[in-house]
Amino acid sequence: MKKEKNPAELILFFDGKCPLCTKEIALLQRYDKNAKIQFEDINSASFETQFPFINLHEARDVLHGQLLGGTIITGMDVTFMAWDLVERHRWLKMLNLPLVRPLTDWGYQIFARHRSKIANFLTRK
């Protein structure tokens, strides 16, 4: 009898054309020993067919994830959950504290808006 694979606890939708995003995804994949995360590149040819409920334009602007029950989460909530699932970077929890979280979200919005420029600056040779 064939053993069925447990569904991932999080589907993480990422931009495979972003060098910073792909570095973080590669780390998450390396640490995801129990396959708790399903990684989906929003640039894949079948993305819109496979995930029609994800607005591609919005997913390019803000990180998206889908929980096991179908709930969509975005931004830092995806980051917090992904790193928690792989049991790494526990220090990120302090960025989710009530007094810090508004600053975390503000910083993420700035990063997301300018990630191409930031990526080009950090990855130029």
**Tens digits of residue pLDDT in 66-87:** 999 999 999 999 999 999 999 9
The secondary element (H helix, E strand) that includes residue 76 is helix 76-85
CB-CB contact of 52 with 65 (8 Å):
no
Residue 113 lies in a domain: yes
Residue 82 lies in a domain: yes
Count: domains in the chain: 1
Residue 3 lies in a domain: no
Domain that holds residue 54: 10-123
Residue 29 lies in a domain: yes
Residue 5 lies in a domain: no
Average pLDDT over the chain reads 90
Residue 98 lies in a domain: yes
**27 token code pair:** 């780390």
Rounded to 10°, the helix 19-31/101-123 angle is: 110
What confidence score (pLDDT) does residue 59 get?
Answer: 94
Q: Give me the percent of the chain exceeding a pLDDT of 70.
A: 94
Cα–Cα distance, 59 to 56 (Å, whole number):
5
